[in-house]
Structure 1
Amino acid sequence: MKRIIKKVAVVGSGIMGSGIACHFANIGVEVLLLDIVPRELTEIETKKGLTLENKMVRNRIVNDHLANALKSKPSPIYHEKFASRITTGNTTDDLHKIADCDWIIEVVVERLDIKKQVFEQIEKHRKPGTLITSNTSGIPIHFMSEGRSEDFQQHFCGTHFFNPARYLKLFEIIPGPKTSTEVLDFLNNYGEKFLGKTSVVAKDTPAFIGNRIGIFGIQSLFHLVKEMDLTIEEVDKLTGPVIGRPKSATFRTVDVVGLDTLVHVANGLYEGVPEDEAHDLFKLPDFITKMLENKWLGSKTGQGFYKKEGKEILSLDLNTLEYRAAKKASFATLELTKTIDKPIDRFKVLVKGKDKAGEFYRKSFGAMFAYVSNRVPEITDDLYKIDDAMKAGFGWENGPFEIWDAVGVEKGIELLKSEGLSNAKWVDDMLSSGNKSFYTIKEGASYYYDVNSKSQNKIPGQDSFIILNNIRESKKVWSNSGAIVQDLGDGILNLEFRSKMNTIGGDVLQGINKAIELAEKDFQGLVIGNQAANFSVGANIGMIFMMAVEQEYDELNMAIKLFQDTMMRVRYSSIPVVVAPHGMTLGGGCEMSLHADKVVAAAETYIGLVEFGVGVIPGGGGSKEMALRASDLFHKNDVELNVLQEYFLTVAMAKVSTSAYEAFDTGILQHGKDIVVVNKDRQIAEAKKHALIMAEAGYTQPIKRKDVKVLGKQALGMFMVGTDQMEAGSYISDHDKQIANKLAYVMAGGDLSEPTFVTEQYLLDIEREAFLSLCTERKTLERIQFMLTKGKPLRN
């Protein structure tokens, strides 16, 4: 049957419920958010003479929860106006409204008796055929639907979002005893296509997949840290970005999540999996018990494994349970991986380490390899789902079986056996059958070893997206050290950056020009996109710094002109160029997006012109483009200065959107031209589709603009008065004022005596001149150097 989700009811408005409500609002769905009626009045309500019958009082809990969620950082909502899609109410007065909803999600407290009471009430109002799911993180699904009608049970299952719902991609779907196949298939597809998630169908086992493996990993480290006498700083150093994990690593992550939350799941597993071979690892170590007694739960109580006193971060000594100054952790083994860019390529080196780090990795990976192998087929029949869950739910760059493959399956078995552990028999069967790895790639598709068929099977669902890792070499058309061009098929090329942080330097610029040249000659269109953590953090400022310090201004002028000319080639090629930004898309990465025929942005795109932070203005066509876009919005009887001022402030304040949707407000993305995709995995495929549509519709090479209206002295005077006032009020420094005035000069079109129509090249020339002049300033060089060494802007 065809099922369309127009309206969703979320019952329970706590942190998780409000987060889920916000994410449905993010994708355009109408949401009814409900919670209980307060049992008593607050002091303020009493003073106001309100009663428990007052509607505002009755909805206080749900409204407070939603307001707190919307104020939280990072925001659960893509754009503040999307919150209007959420209507609040209470379960006493408004539960009947769920009859109009297509999907009801229960997110109440984690107690089976309360959940069953809620379902009993829901069934009185729910219309037959409506989806009904629970967001439980561990209560068995088969218990929840006991006593409910046949229709309820057929349309009921678990849908476990991870917190925060907007940012963590894991969406576990756990069938009940009678859940229909149609419901599971629908939710699996809806999670991927509309919610932008990695959907994983799990078995109804304790903590499902993500938390079962994730909590094992954390508990294993809790015990290992004592066994090896490691500090928490050492563990966080070893379990962070070096192995493709979040910067918060282990102990900082626990502080953010809350120790009590972790313990709740760990205790549930200790009770729920008595036959688990690692059962004793789920028992809490003494130092965790003591921390719970002290209410050292992490960020929510002001102290956990770390504690902030003034500006100083203190660390907990696990032996004395006293806080002390943080100690820097360093290991010789980690030094060996500094030249290895990708975490997946580091694991072979890490497990061979001769120091404490090497021992740590051998022990921790050995334990993990044994554990995940023994969970198949207990928690899932398909090993790739374990990897998907850990990557999407815990932010790991590589899942356990991918890491095992990187180390080598036989080497991994050696590691676990050296720790007195044993792997599941199916791993030995896999090796004896001639399959030497858990994953293989064939014809651009990923395959996994299927335990049941004892063969490599294609991972389902890949047809809707393009995985660049799988085609990087087999479909390579051209490459250099900074970029690679791949054939996506159907006459569309893709240009992928592969410089550090995808910075844009000479090799990348060469790659852009070469990709356009190839596409113009033999193909129909070009996508510029990658699947790294970030699209691009901007131009290679290290190169700019060196040229400026050496006063090689002619070379610097040529480098900036090459950047500008390349951006203009993106704009004025004879084939459509689609740019696919995601994550951090800053400076030059943003300028490239500004010059595309179309932008297909991931919803999680943080895009902006941030050059002010390093003491310059956008010099790759960004300043020109903002002036041009303002000009295009000038209409008869408009106060044109006000329009231009908005674009000026976007650059001068280095505004960065917190989602792609916010980038429409700043004018960096354009309504009617650019689009947003929620699932980043589908982004390259979507960009390819739009390049092909433009090509087949008869793409015509644009004509260079000669009609950009600039306002001259009128605008320049207004901007300079504004910067004078900002400096006088100590809002900006003298150097900030200097940069802002240079930007004002460019966006006003210079000191022309009256509004004039100019060419894009005219604006590019004065933009480049302004950029170069700022590079001669000592304070600009100080800003660039500070950014290169400290990774953050300097205000001087």
Structure 2
Amino acid sequence: MKRHINKVAVIGSGIMGSGIACHFANIGVEVLLFDIVPRELNDKEKAKGLTLEDKAVRNRLVNDSLTAALKSKPSPIYHQKFANRITTCNLDDDIARVAEVDWIIEVVVERLDIKKKVFESLDNHRKKGTLITSNTSGIPIHFMSEGRSDDFQKHFCGTHFFNPARYLKLFEIIPGPKTSNEVLDFLNGYGEQYLGKTSVIAKDTPAFIGNRIGIFSIQSLFHAVKEMGMTVEEVDKLTGPVIGRPKSATFRTVDVVGLDTLVHVANGIHENCKNDERLDLFELPDFIKTMSENKWLGSKSGQGFYKKVKGEGGKSEILTLDLDTMDYRSKKSAKFATLELTKTIDKVVDRFPILINGKDKAGEFFRKSFGALFAYVSHRIPEITDDLYKIDDAMKAGFGWEHGPFQIWDAIGKEKGLELIKAEGLTAADWVKEMKEPSFYSVKDGATYFYNIPKKGMEKVPGQDSFIILDNIRKSKEVFKNSGVVIEDLGDGILNVEFQSKMNTIGGDVLSGLNKGIDLAEKDFQGLVVGNQAANFSVGANIGMIFMMAVEQEYDELNMAIKMFQDTMMRMRYSSIPTVSAPHGMCLGGGCELSLHADKVIAAAETYIGLVEFGVGVIPGGGGSKEFALRASDSVRKGDVELNILQEYFLTIGMAKVSTSAYEAYDLGILQKGKDLVVVNKDRQIATAKAHAKLMAEAGYTKPVKRKDVKVLGKQALGMFLVGTDAMEASRYISEHDHKIANKLAYVMAGGDLSEPTLVTEQYLLDLEREAFLSLCTERKTLERIQHMLKTGKPLRN
């Protein structure tokens, strides 16, 4: 049976329910969002003379929840207009409407009696064959479906989204006693392809996979902190980006999630996992009990492990909880000699062997924490899952770890991992000791294999056929490499240029690699993809290089560097093969300009793209200013006011607007409707980009003709812009230097001070753009902005 999900019902509109509703709306599904009817009127309703029978009152709880969700930051929705796909309902008046939907998702309070009552009502109204799932994070699935109809039980299971549903990729699927395999297979595929998730089928055990391992890891650290006499800052320093974890590390993450949530899950495991060999670690340390009693729950209560206060002069300060005194104090810096040894190592996976050999407290901390983690995950198989890769997938997708426990163990070495376990007085599971393979994973023919415990051999990780994993093919499919890029053969005549610079900045080596990729593709291949699988596509041009040239007043060299950037972007546009850009994460400045010049963009939904050059005191100089002038010209339709359209593009650059999703990039004129596409699952992005490059090539791609028909408005537009920027400075909305930059941009986008509207070439605009960029690089205030960005990573408004 082929299923289609056109409409879903979400029962419960709290933070999680509204987040799930928004994510289904994100992918184009119609949503009915339900909650209960209020028992009494609030003051506003009384003042208006409303009664409990008025629809506005009856839907108040669900409406208020959805409104709060849509206003929250980060937003749960890709674009505010997608909220129109959500209809709010109440469980008394509208319950019969669940018969309209293809999937019902229950997200009510975590009480079995309430859930069972809700399911009884839903069972009476749903149509046969409708999927029905629970987003519970702790209640056993088999308890919830007891007493329900056979059709209900066949189509019922747990589908555990992690909060926030838009951003965290883990989608745990937990079968009930009678869940059909067809339902499990469908949800597994739907989660990956449509919801953009990492689907993991888990067993019906307390906290499932992600929270069982994640809460163990946090609780283990809580106990280690006291044992080792460490501070909150020290632990967060050691458990953040240095080991491929989020910046929020451990304690800040708990503050964001809420201490009450962590306590609830930890207590659930402690009460329901009596055979867990590390049960003692799920007991709450005294400092957690004190915090819970004091309602120091984190961000939701205004204080947790950290507390934001107003200092002298109204300046904000973040205080840290001292775990010994339970008082808040000023933050202390945390430094370790071991971490200094990893500063030159870009790849996180290469840091682990160094970290565990540290001679200081950090080294001891890593040996203890990894030893405990390795032992624990080995004993969870086959209890929570039969396959070790599912544990790694769950930790990466649900907790934002760059590497799962078994991948870290591989990086350290299987035998070394066993040594760490033994040093902690622990033992690994027997299957690890009996394992003949040297590692838990291997790569063969571009595919990842994992150690299958029952079969005692390596087996291909399922579901990879729709992905291209660059880490797996880089060595075997490398066609060219320099210090900035690796060019890989993706097969079927398509090459990929993968950036390898720090933060994927674009400098001379990357530009040289892009040109080489186009040369190779034009000679022996059919198309070119520019894509990578780092955290961010590119944060833009190498401003450090620009700064050095400008400080040394090497203006001829700088002019040549800018021209090389422009010429490379134009080659992306005017090569004889189709070029496809695959941006994701941050795609700023030069990274955005590259995407503007590709034949097609296949953007990940989570793409934050924009021209941000104003922040470093310049205008877009790699073709971005030219391109926006060109797109403004092309956007004009009969009856449009040309100046208004040009002004929109001007303001997008002048205000350094960055999209908060790929869908918002359409509004900014960066992505183009009907040409560029968005994919929700980033793992599929390179494969999708390759498919489109191949399709364009096979459809008979022809090299475009260079444009000579870009209409610029000259003095008519320039005058409008200059009046506007003068007014902005006079009103103190912008600084004197902002004014100067804006006027330079105005000159370029107006096509100079031409006396009347004129058709010009792209090269004419590129020359104006380059001249403006270069002149701004001679300004002291621009150099101050660049230097401040290099030092702090933040823009300076001087």
TM class by shorter-chain length? over 0.9
Report the counterpart of residue 12 of structure 2 in structure 1. Answer: 12
Report the counterpart of residue 626 of structure 2 in structure 1. Answer: 624
Comparing 628-637 and 369-378, the one that deviates more: 628-637
Report the counterpart of residue 367 of structure 2 in structure 1. Answer: 362
- Deviations, residues 207-240 of structure 1 (Å, cap 9, x unaligned): 0000000000000000000000000000000000
Q: Distance in 2 between matches of 1:634 and 1:217?
A: 57
Report the counterpart of residue 739 of structure 2 in structure 1. Answer: 737
Q: Does 1:728 align with 2:730?
A: yes
- Deviations, residues 638-660 of structure 1 (Å, cap 9, x unaligned): 21000100100010000000000
Report the counterpart of residue 345 of structure 1 in structure 2. Answer: 350
Report the counterpart of residue 463 of structure 1 in structure 2. Answer: 465
Report the counterpart of residue 80 of structure 2 in structure 1. Answer: 80
One-letter amino acid matched to 1:728? A
C-alpha deviation, 1:259, in angstroms: 0.4
The 3-state SS of whatever aligns with 1:171 is strand
One-letter amino acid matched to 1:594? L
Report the counterpart of residue 562 of structure 2 in structure 1. Answer: 560
One-letter amino acid matched to 1:518? L
Task: Pick from 605, 608, 611 the counterpart of residue 609 of structure 1.
Answer: 611
The 3-state SS of whatever aligns with 1:39 is coil
Comparing 62-71 and 47-56, the one that deviates more: 47-56
One-letter amino acid matched to 1:463? D
How many pairs are equivalent?
793
Q: Distance in 2 between matches of 1:648 and 1:37?
A: 48
Q: Distance in 2 between matches of 1:636 and 1:277?
A: 74
- Deviations, residues 303-359 of structure 1 (Å, cap 9, x unaligned): 100011121110000000000000000000000000100111100000000000000
Q: Distance in 2 between matches of 1:63 and 1:541?
A: 47
Report the counterpart of residue 98 of structure 1 in structure 2. Answer: 98
The 3-state SS of whatever aligns with 1:655 is coil
Q: Distance in 2 between matches of 1:227 and 1:38?
A: 49
One-letter amino acid matched to 1:523? F
Task: Pick from 640, 643, 655 the counterpart of residue 638 of structure 1.
Answer: 640
Report the counterpart of residue 153 of structure 1 in structure 2. Answer: 153
Task: Pick from 537, 548, 551 the counterpart of residue 549 of structure 1.
Answer: 551
Report the counterpart of residue 423 of structure 1 in structure 2. Answer: 428
The 3-state SS of whatever aligns with 1:658 is coil
Report the counterpart of residue 754 of structure 1 in structure 2. Answer: 756
Report the counterpart of residue 263 of structure 1 in structure 2. Answer: 263
One-letter amino acid matched to 2:134? S
Report the counterpart of residue 444 of structure 2 in structure 1. Answer: 442
Q: Distance in 2 between matches of 1:424 and 1:682?
A: 35
One-letter amino acid matched to 1:329? A
Task: Pick from 491, 495, 512 the counterpart of residue 510 of structure 1.
Answer: 512
One-letter amino acid matched to 2:232? I
Q: Does 1:3 align with 2:3?
A: yes
Report the counterpart of residue 277 of structure 2 in structure 1. Answer: 277
Task: Pick from 391, 394, 399 the counterpart of residue 389 of structure 1.
Answer: 394
Q: Distance in 1 between matches of 2:727 and 2:35?
A: 49
Task: Pick from 767, 774, 795 the counterpart of residue 793 of structure 1.
Answer: 795
C-alpha deviation, 1:674, in angstroms: 0.2
- Deviations, residues 125-170 of structure 1 (Å, cap 9, x unaligned): 0000000000000100000000001100000000000000000000
C-alpha deviation, 1:634, in angstroms: 1.7
One-letter amino acid matched to 2:647? Q
Q: Does 1:673 align with 2:675?
A: yes
The 3-state SS of whatever aligns with 1:464 is coil
Report the counterpart of residue 167 of structure 1 in structure 2. Answer: 167
5+ residue gaps, structure 2 = 311-315
C-alpha deviation, 1:637, in angstroms: 2.7
Matches within 5 A, 1:507-586: 507-586=509-588
The 3-state SS of whatever aligns with 2:394 is helix
Q: Distance in 1 between matches of 2:484 and 2:380?
A: 41
Q: Does 1:117 align with 2:117?
A: yes
Q: Distance in 2 between matches of 1:523 and 1:789?
A: 42
The 3-state SS of whatever aligns with 1:462 is coil
One-letter amino acid matched to 1:564? Q
C-alpha deviation, 1:198, in angstroms: 0.2
Matches within 5 A, 1:275-354: 275-310=275-310, 311-354=316-359
Q: Distance in 2 between matches of 1:544 and 1:640?
A: 35
One-letter amino acid matched to 1:377? P
Q: Distance in 1 between matches of 2:287 and 2:582?
A: 47
Q: Distance in 1 between matches of 2:584 and 2:463?
A: 22
One-letter amino acid matched to 1:561? K
C-alpha deviation, 1:292, in angstroms: 0.6
Q: Distance in 1 between matches of 2:116 and 2:167?
A: 29
Q: Distance in 2 between matches of 1:329 and 1:94?
A: 56
Q: Say what the alpha-carbon RMSD is for the aligned residues.
A: 0.4
Q: Distance in 1 between matches of 2:637 and 2:107?
A: 50
Q: Distance in 1 between matches of 2:474 and 2:595?
A: 23
One-letter amino acid matched to 1:303? Q
Q: Distance in 2 between matches of 1:770 and 1:61?
A: 55
One-letter amino acid matched to 1:172? E
C-alpha deviation, 1:763, in angstroms: 0.2
Report the counterpart of residue 498 of structure 1 in structure 2. Answer: 500
Q: Distance in 1 between matches of 2:300 and 2:3?
A: 41
The 3-state SS of whatever aligns with 2:465 is helix
C-alpha deviation, 1:429, in angstroms: 1.2
One-letter amino acid matched to 1:789? K
- Deviations, residues 254-279 of structure 1 (Å, cap 9, x unaligned): 00000001000000000010110010
Report the counterpart of residue 236 of structure 2 in structure 1. Answer: 236
Report the counterpart of residue 384 of structure 2 in structure 1. Answer: 379
C-alpha deviation, 1:636, in angstroms: 2.9
Q: Distance in 1 between matches of 2:463 and 2:32?
A: 31
Q: Distance in 1 between matches of 2:640 and 2:306?
A: 55
Q: Distance in 1 between matches of 2:192 and 2:111?
A: 29
Task: Pick from 459, 472, 475 the counterpart of residue 474 of structure 2.
Answer: 472
5+ residue gaps, structure 1 = none
Task: Pick from 451, 454, 459 the counterpart of residue 452 of structure 1.
Answer: 454
- Deviations, residues 663-707 of structure 1 (Å, cap 9, x unaligned): 000000000100000000000000000000000000000010000
Q: Distance in 2 between matches of 1:729 and 1:54?
A: 48
Report the counterpart of residue 313 of structure 2 in structure 1. Answer: none
Q: Does 1:401 align with 2:406?
A: yes
Report the counterpart of residue 782 of structure 1 in structure 2. Answer: 784
C-alpha deviation, 1:785, in angstroms: 0.3
- Deviations, residues 459-500 of structure 1 (Å, cap 9, x unaligned): 000000100000011100000011000000000000000000
Q: Distance in 2 between matches of 1:703 and 1:743?
A: 26
One-letter amino acid matched to 1:23? H
C-alpha deviation, 1:285, in angstroms: 0.1
- Deviations, residues 143-201 of structure 1 (Å, cap 9, x unaligned): 00000011000000000000000000000000000000000000000000000000000
Q: Distance in 2 between matches of 1:189 and 1:652?
A: 43
C-alpha deviation, 1:635, in angstroms: 2.4
Report the counterpart of residue 222 of structure 1 in structure 2. Answer: 222
One-letter amino acid matched to 2:563? K
Matches within 5 A, 1:477-492: 477-492=479-494
Q: Distance in 2 between matches of 1:638 and 1:458?
A: 57
Q: Distance in 1 between matches of 2:764 and 2:33?
A: 54
The 3-state SS of whatever aligns with 1:172 is strand
Report the counterpart of residue 67 of structure 2 in structure 1. Answer: 67
User: What TM-score comes out, normalization by structure 1 length?
Assistant: 0.99
Q: Distance in 2 between matches of 1:222 and 1:22?
A: 34
